[in-house]
């Protein structure tokens, strides 16, 4: 009974520590400690015990991490999201308990930490695609963007970074076990491998120099009233704020602008059909003397709408466009609407579902100063959390990433800085300079090593100007991304199946 109580306490403390590793706390070393504590909590668990301990861990970790969901849509959807996503950690706990109790690794102690780590990443990959297209928020790699481990994103993306992070935490737990058992040699090996894993990423050849010239960006954060979902009802004011921000940017005479950037939902009255919006965005483009990348909503489909980025010319025409491929479930569209309405009437605020767009997240920008065309990656809001969308954009020739987002619904929470951490990790992963532009902040200019060069505040009206290097190299993470994605997703479940088979063989031995 005492050991079960201790396991539960360890689980709760481990969940809190993982939360503290993420923005806005940013105490990233606690991610390793959290994993080590979870290792000990699950040490003697049965499959069902592992399930409930894992679920408790997930709930304690995710509830504060996802508090922004409560601010946006209320406590009931926030609790439902937390409980549902926590089930992924329950699955992890049950699977790991099954592997450990099968004793299949008893004679292979060296394999225990890697097995723990690869199983963790498999569960992260699974919850990135299921259900309703997945919800990749809260991957351990997102907490480590300021750590040496983040550099592994260049080599193998978010999955490899997560694997290395969990491996270090598991090795820390093994180190403690070996010290308690007075197994000095094994303890020394575990310590050496853990330290080596932390600093091995430093040797990876991350580069920030230009490979194809530069592009001068004018970036506007116009600000939105801090009124949660009600901010969407003030579309005219939001557009006017961004137009005024453009005036202030140009008045500051920052230098020639090749591309003016406005965020997601900056022009919710589609300028292709709304004369006032068309006049406003054309004026902005003419002020900057450059094309304008803006976020709008396309209501032309009879069955719904698109969340769209438009490239608007100085003479008032559309040069290119991209529509979001992964609308956010229960936010931009409502699956199982009748069931969801039982939990919250807020679902009816989404009266027209956002439809998934088709095509790679890229737009071609004509740059007059160099008489060239620059392909940029145009990632919209939560799409930055999805590995394949970003990877496909770079593989398609994007030389720069621009993440257009609208964080107005989430109030003064850490949602924006959590998203910024993802954008920073994508910069490392793809070897691309990355711009996050939000209606309300936090907006930032990020170099190809994930370092923030410029940053705005939250719920402020600000502008940034940056002459950004363009890069063309294809990183290993982009080139071999599908291998890491599917390898980490599929291989661990083979280990689990072998463990189940071994358990069944033991049970039915004569």
> Catalytic residue positions?
264, 324, 381
Please, is 129 exposed, middle or buried when counting C-beta atoms within 10 Å of its C-beta (0-12, 13-18, 19+)? middle
Produce one character per residue of 11-30: b if its CB has 16 or more CB atoms within 10 Å, e if not: bbbbbbbbbbbbbeeeebeb
Asked whether the beta carbons of 460 and 491 are under 8 A apart, the reply is: no
Strand, coil or helix: what is 67? helix
Q: Closest Cα partner for 66 from 132, 11, 131, 136? A: 136
Tokens representing 330 are: 């229960």
Residues 6+ apart with CB under 8 A from 409: 71, 72, 228, 229, 231, 232
Q: Closest Cα partner for 458 from 402, 420, 489? A: 420
Strand, coil or helix: what is 467? strand
Strand, coil or helix: what is 237? helix
DSSP string, 264-304: TTTB-S-TTT-HHHHHHHHHHHHHHTS-EEEEEEE--STT-
Asked whether the beta carbons of 228 and 411 are under 8 A apart, the reply is: yes
Strand, coil or helix: what is 347? helix
Q: Which residues pair with 292 in a beta bridge?
A: 260, 312
Q: Closest Cα partner for 42 from 27, 32, 52? A: 52
Tokens representing 209 are: 């120099």
496/510 Cα distance (integer angstroms): 24
Q: Closest Cα partner for 393 from 492, 478, 505, 461? A: 478
Which DSSP category does 175 fall into? H
Tokens representing 460 are: 């402020």
400/469 Cα distance (integer angstroms): 8
495/96 Cα distance (integer angstroms): 10
Q: Closest Cα partner for 158 from 361, 364, 381, 389? A: 389
């Amino acid at each position: 009974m005492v050991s079960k109580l201790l396991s539960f306490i360890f689980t709760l403390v481990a969940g809190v520590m993982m939360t503290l590793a993420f923005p806005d706390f940013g105490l990233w070393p606690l991610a390793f400690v959290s994993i080590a504590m979870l290792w000990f909590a699950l040490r003697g668990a049965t499959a069902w015990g592992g399930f409930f301990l894992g679920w408790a861990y997930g709930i304690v970790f995710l509830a504060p991490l996802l508090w922004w969901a409560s601010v946006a849509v209320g406590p009931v959807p926030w609790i439902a999201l937390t409980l549902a996503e926590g089930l992924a950690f329950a699955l992890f706990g049950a699977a790991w308990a099954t592997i450990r109790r099968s004793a299949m690794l008893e004679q292979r102690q060296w394999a225990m930490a890697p097995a723990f780590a690869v199983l963790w990443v498999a569960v992260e990959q699974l919850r990135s695609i299921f259900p309703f297209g997945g919800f990749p928020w809260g991957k351990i790699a997102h907490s480590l963007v300021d750590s040496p481990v983040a550099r592994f994103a260049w080599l193998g993306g978010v999955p490899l970074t997560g694997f290395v992070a969990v491996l270090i935490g598991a090795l820390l737990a093994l180190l403690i076990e070996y010290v308690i058992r007075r197994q000095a040699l094994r303890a020394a090996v575990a310590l050496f491998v853990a330290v080596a894993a932390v600093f091995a990423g430093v040797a990876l050849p991350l580069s920030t120099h230009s490979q194809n010239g530069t592009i001068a960006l004018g970036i506007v954060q116009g600000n939105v009233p801090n009124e949660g979902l009600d901010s969407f009802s003030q579309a005219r004011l939001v557009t006017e704020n961004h137009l005024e921000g453009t005036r202030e940017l140009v008045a500051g005479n920052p230098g020639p602008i090749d591309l003016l950037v406005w965020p997601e939902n900056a022009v919710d009255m589609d300028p292709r059909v709304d004369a006032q919006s068309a006049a406003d965005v054309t004026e902005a483009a003419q002020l900057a003397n450059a094309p304008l990348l803006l976020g709008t909503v396309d209501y032309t489909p009879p069955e719904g709408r698109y969340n769209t980025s438009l490239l608007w010319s100085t003479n008032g025409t559309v040069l290119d466009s991209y529509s979001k491929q992964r609308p956010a479930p229960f936010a931009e569209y409502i699956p199982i609407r009748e069931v969801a309405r039982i939990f919250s009437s807020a679902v009816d605020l989404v009266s027209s579902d956002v439809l998934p767009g088709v095509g790679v997240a890229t737009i071609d920008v004509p740059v007059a100063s160099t008489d060239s065309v620059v392909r940029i990656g145009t990632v919209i809001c939560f799409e930055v959390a999805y590995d394949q969308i970003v990877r496909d954009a770079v593989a398609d020739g994007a030389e720069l990433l621009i993440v257009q987002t609208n964080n107005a619904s989430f109030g003064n929470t850490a949602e924006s800085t959590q998203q910024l951490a993802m954008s920073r990790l994508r910069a490392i992963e793809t070897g691309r300079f990355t711009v996050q532009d939000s209606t309300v902040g936090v907006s930032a200019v990020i170099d190809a090593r994930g370092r923030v060069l410029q940053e705005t505040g939250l719920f402020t009206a600000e502008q940034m100007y940056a002459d950004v290097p363009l890069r063309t190299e294809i990183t290993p993470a982009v080139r071999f991304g599908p291998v890491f994605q599917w390898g980490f997703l599929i291989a661990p479940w083979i280990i689990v199946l072998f463990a189940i088979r071994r358990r069944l063989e033991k049970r039915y031995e004569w």
